[in-house]
Amino acid sequence: MLFNFTIGLRTSLIVTLASVIALVVNMQEPWWAAMSAMTVANADWTNVWRKGMQRVIGTIAGGFCGYWIAIAVKNFELFQWTTLGIMAALAIYKRMASPNYAYAWLMGIVTAMLAIYFAMVEIDSLFFLMVDRTLTVAIGVATATVVSYSFLENSSIGVGLGPFIIPNIDTMDKSWVVALCLSGAVVAVLAPIVYAGHDLSAMIQIIITSLVVLYGPVVSVKQFAITRSVGCFAGALMGFVLIGLGLQSFFWWVLLVALGLFFLGAVQAGKSYWTYAGQQGGYAYVIAALASSGPVDNFNQVLDRQVGVILGAIIAVCVLVVIRIWQGADFPDIEHMNRKKIQRAKTKRT
């Protein structure tokens, strides 16, 4: 089943409501509220509670630790780069080694890394930026929690999670785990260089995308990269259509945002290979829709951030391939394709 319109409607309500609340209270980056709401929007109340608490606690802990680490290394570039690389590698490792708290580890370390990136260019406003991000995330989580609890407290409906593969790090090839962690560290250092002079939020998308893609066994990385890229492209395209309409009426703008989220939420809640693409499309869509805190007609700001998402997946996979070559590893997918070609040739001869 590709679509689940019932859950899609609920997801649209949650994310749209979180967006409007963030705009009303004048948060600096309201799309974080929308993204947080879409992340924890799950039909099962226990999942909402668990994911929501991990996101909030991880963000608060990461923001607190990241702020003081950023202050400590603000005048030492070598320490900044080294810290970012270590944090990225740790985020990837802990996400696989601690599946019960993987989301808290990921959000905590990503938030701490953001503090260091912010400190590189906006050290004077670092405290305000971290407080704003924490409060905005809390708005999204609280909205998802209240709506889910109000309407689905006794529901046991499940939500398809697409290509998620929960890895068992004990059974994974150790060289592959090392390659994933090293790749994350390299991307964390490369991101500011690749996006020098561009929008800071766009550069951050490279980091977040790479840490999401570099996860689990070989097939998981491939699926994450493909579905995240396709979803982000589809969501960005929908966002560009919304921007192109040039709506200045807040009512009609909110209505179209809700309709777009309804479609993407229905895909996310389905039971197909592309459910993860629905979630990533929702992220890209709200980033586009909320780029200027309301109705927007600025294509450049939106395009810069969407390119960051695509670059994150491409750079992460390219770095991973280079490291695997350096390790002298084989490529199972290529060998599998060659075996299939040989088998087809034998079948034709017979």
- Structure confidence at residue 47 (pLDDT): 67
Mean pLDDT, residues 270-287 taken together: 80
In sign, the C-alpha dihedral spanning 92, 207, 232, 239 is positive
Given a cut of 80, whether residue 200 has pLDDT beyond it is no
Q: How far apart are CA 139 and CA 231, in angstroms?
A: 24
Contact 210, 317 (CB under 8 A): no
Q: How far apart are CA 18 and CA 219, in angstroms?
A: 34
* Low-confidence winner among 196-205, 257-266, 292-301 (lowest mean pLDDT): 292-301
Check if the beta carbon of residue 265 is closer than 8 Å to that of residue 278. yes
Q: Above 60 in pLDDT, residue 43?
A: no
Global pTM value: 0.75
Nearest CA among 87, 77, 255 for reference residue 187? 87
317 located within any domain: yes
H-state helical runs in the chain: 5-24, 31-40, 45-72, 77-97, 102-122, 126-152, 174-194, 200-213, 218-244, 250-268, 275-289, 299-327, 332-349
Number of domains present in the structure of the chain: 1
- Domain containing residue 27: 5-336
Q: How far apart are CA 237 and CA 287, in angstroms?
A: 12
Q: Is residue 71 part of a domain?
A: yes
CA atoms of 118 and 316, how far apart (whole Å) = 22
Q: Length of the chain in residues, anyone?
A: 350
Considering the domain boundaries, does residue 235 fall inside one? yes
The two three-digit tokens of residue 241, written as one number: 């259509």
Give the C-alpha separation, 125 to 228, whole Å: 32
Give yes or no for a contact between 1 and 270, defined as CB atoms under 8 angstroms apart.
Answer: yes
How confident is the model over 286-300, as pLDDT tens digits? 887 886 555 555 566
Is the pLDDT higher at 177 or at 297?
177
Question: Is 342 a domain residue?
Answer: no
In a domain, 188, yes or no: yes
